[in-house]
Amino acid sequence: MEIGLIVILCLLVFAIAYIIMLYNGLVNLKHNVAKHLANIDVVLKQRHDELPKLIETCKQYMRHEQETLTKVIAARQHVAEAQSSHDMKALGQAETGLRASMGQLFALAENYPELKADSTFTTLQHRISALENAIADRREVYNEAVNNNNVRIEQFPDVIIARWFNFKAFELLQFNKEELTDVDVKSLFS
C-alpha cells in the first residue's frame, strides 16, 4: 500500500508542477506582449515629439501649404489618442493616416529647395524616417508576441489553464490595405 501511495503522491506532485509550468509560460507570454507594446509606445512617443519640430521648420518655408501641415497635426493627434487607449485597430488606422499625411509633407518639401537644404529639416526628416523603421520593426516583434500568446492559449493542454485563469487573446496591430500597397510617388508630387 505504501508504494501505491508514493506513486500517487509523485503523480500529484508532477501534475501540480506541470500546471505551474504551463501557467508561468502563459504569464510570460502575456507580459511579453505588454513589453513589446510598451516598446512600440516608446518609439511612437519619440516620433510624436519630433513631428512638431518638423512642422515648425516647414511652417517657416511653406506659408501656402497650411492644409498639409494641419493634416499632419491632426493625424498625429489621432495616433496619440489611439495609442493612449491601446486600441490596436484605431492605432493601425491612425498610423495609416499619419504616414499618408507625412508622405504628402515630404513630397511638398520637394517644391521648396531652401527647405530641403535646411539642416534642421534634413536632420528631422532622417530622424523621423529612422523612427518609422523602428516602429515597423517593433510592430513586427509585437505581432509575433501576440501570435505566440494567442496560439498557446488555444493549444491543449494550455487552453485548460488559460480558460481557468482567464487569459485573453490580444489583437494584432494591423494596418489598412493602402499602407501595404506600393506608394504612387507621382501622385504625391501633383
The answer on pLDDT for 180 being more than 50 is no
Q: What is the pLDDT of residues 87-143, one digit of tens each?
A: 888 888 888 888 888 888 887 777 777 777 777 777 888 888 888 888 888 888 988
CATH number at residue 140: 1.20.1440.20
Q: What is the pLDDT of residues 156-173, one digit of tens each?
A: 999 999 999 999 999 888
**What residues make up the domain containing 98?**
23-188
Per-residue pLDDT at 13: 95
In a domain, 91, yes or no: yes
Q: How many domains does the chain have?
A: 1
In a domain, 148, yes or no: yes
In a domain, 2, yes or no: no
Q: Supply the DSSP string of 70-103, one letter for each residue.
A: HHHHHHHHHHHHHHHHT-HHHHHHHHHHHHHHHH
Cβ contacts of residue 86 below 8 Å, gap of 6+? 37
Q: What is the pLDDT of residues 54-92, one digit of tens each?
A: 877 777 767 667 777 788 888 888 888 888 887 888 888
